[in-house]
Amino acid sequence: MKTLKFFFTAIIVAGIPLMANAQLKNMQYWRPYDQRGVNVFEVTKTDTVGFENIDVRIGGAFTQQIQALDHSNKADANVVDGVDLNELKAIGAGFNNATANLNIDVQLADGVRMNVITYLSSRHHPEAWVKGGYLQVDKVPFLKSQLLDNIFEYVRIKAGHMEINYGDAHFRRTDNANAMYNPLVGNYILDAFNTEIGAEVYFFKDNFLAMIATSGGEIRGNITNPDGRAPAYYGKIGYDNQFSEDLRFRLTGSFYTTSKSLNNSLYAGDRAGSRYYLVMENVNATDAAQFTSGRFNPNFRDDVTSFQINPFIKAGGLEFFGIAEWSNGSLATETDNRDWSQYGAELVYRFLPQDKLYLAARYNTVSGPQAFSTDDITIKRVQLGGGWFITKNILMKAEYVNQTYTDFPSSSIFHEGQFDGLMLEATVAF
């Protein structure tokens, strides 16, 4: 794996001088990885790139942070083999490990595109490993059918082991080294993100969109214990209209459901890791093993049903994005399902030519009972920050974050827990 990581890194580093002197090509029906991809959700059915021949586009993303966070709690001691497992790890200001992505997009035919993303380095895995990939079909002229040509004017099919399209928040989150789309540093507390094996069918008409999909319901393929597994089904319906150059309105509703699973990970699918290293972790924690610091997983491993509503409004330089999410699920050994809710509101103001500078604020709260409990706990987060697009490929960000934990029992490491401080992040994507 180390050899593979070195090989991919060498390809990208060697290619940077060539890319500096050449215009990287766009793909058909494709979201750019740089600033042009900001506020892009599902790519439209408008074909802005003609097809000439099979084409390969190699890109990448690199991100580095400086972290200066403090944390505290008031948990009861939990001494095991002489170590208090509720004592927080001592942390201070310093650099986090850099992360890197490799993006490969291939135009296979007119209207047919393939995507593969590899994490070259992440918080959870120092070695290179594939996030996932998919085949996207927007045209089928090679089938020589006028009927199918007419259908695919409105239809798109995506299939593969891919990031599932549940909700709109995953379009604005940081994906390992790709931090261009997120106006702040951290993602949402309840981070609905997963890669599953399945297929999505889209319908686009005027300003309306609809999608229905099915997947294996787990982060990896599995053929064992068939009685313990069932497919997942998810979908989305929405309206997205650019009324004028200065006014855009989008509203979508999504659902995700599976009746049983060996290891569903809708809220634990990000294997790359959180941006807030080692916050609220105990003295034995390591960066890689405890890679979800600052997020919270409700532990719906068996069955889960979730709904997410997302409004988005852009008026001039001012943007609003919101989340209202309700989720129900359990572990296989629980007798009753538990209910969780998440709400989030994000304001961004972009200014200067080409929106080079912006200010951002986000409020996020989640609540629900932990496994084998009926008592709700609550986590709240405030993020304040801003960014500077030095070029469309280079972004500098700063963020102040404050997160509090309420109603956790005194035996929990999160009892009266809190972390806050500053984050600086630099990201490059092309």
Q: Say which residue the tokens 């709904």 belong to.
A: 307
**How many CA atoms are closer than 13 Å to the CA of 361, on its beta-carbon side?**
4
Tell me the C-alpha distance between 179 and 209, whole Å: 26
Helix runs in 208-291, H state only: none
DSSP-derived 3-state class of residue 348? strand
- Both structure tokens of 369: 């009972």
Q: What is residue 85's predicted lDDT score, i.e. its pLDDT?
A: 97
Distance, first Cα to last Cα, the chain: 24
The tally of domains found in the chain comes to 1
Cα 281 from chain centroid (whole Å): 22
- β-pair partners for 301: none
DSSP-derived 3-state class of residue 11? helix
What's the pTM value of the predicted model, to 2 decimals? 0.91
Using an 8 Å Cβ cutoff, are 101 and 176 in contact?
yes
Residues 6 or more apart whose CB falls under 8 angstroms from that of 292 comprise: 268, 270, 273, 274
- Domain of residue 164, CATH code: 2.40.160.10
Cα 377 from chain centroid (whole Å): 24
Positive or negative, the CA dihedral 283, 289, 295, 300 is negative
Q: What is residue 7's predicted lDDT score, i.e. its pLDDT?
A: 36
Tell me the C-alpha distance between 297 and 188, whole Å: 11
Tell me the C-alpha distance between 277 and 310, whole Å: 28
Q: What angle do CA 72, 75, 78 make, to 5 degrees?
A: 120
Q: What angle do CA 260, 273, 290 make, to 5 degrees?
A: 85
In 10 A of CB 165, how many CB atoms? 21
Question: Digits of tens for pLDDT over the chain (430 positions)?
Answer: 443 343 344 434 434 433 433 457 889 999 999 999 999 999 999 988 889 899 999 999 999 999 999 999 999 999 999 999 999 999 999 999 999 999 999 999 999 999 999 999 999 987 899 999 999 999 999 999 999 999 999 999 999 999 999 999 999 999 999 999 999 999 999 999 999 999 999 999 999 999 999 999 999 999 999 999 999 999 999 999 999 999 999 999 999 999 999 999 999 999 999 999 999 999 999 999 999 999 999 999 999 999 999 999 999 999 999 999 999 999 999 999 999 999 999 999 999 999 999 999 999 999 999 999 999 999 999 999 999 999 999 999 999 999 999 999 999 999 999 999 999 999 999 9
Boundaries of domain holding 96: 2-429
Q: What is residue 404's predicted lDDT score, i.e. its pLDDT?
A: 98
The DSSP letter of residue 146 is H
Tell me the C-alpha distance between 379 and 295, whole Å: 9
Closest Cα partner for 171 from 319, 40, 275? Answer: 40
Q: What is residue 25's predicted lDDT score, i.e. its pLDDT?
A: 81
Using an 8 Å Cβ cutoff, are 379 and 347 in contact?
no
In 10 A of CB 42, how many CB atoms? 21
Q: What is residue 2's predicted lDDT score, i.e. its pLDDT?
A: 43
Using an 8 Å Cβ cutoff, are 421 and 68 in contact?
yes
DSSP-derived 3-state class of residue 31? coil
Q: Say which residue the tokens 């634990």 belong to.
A: 268
**CB burial of residue 224 (10 Å; 0-12, 13-18, 19+):** exposed
In 10 A of CB 223, how many CB atoms? 6
CA distances from 387 to 14, 206, 397 (A): 29, 34, 4
**CB burial of residue 354 (10 Å; 0-12, 13-18, 19+):** exposed
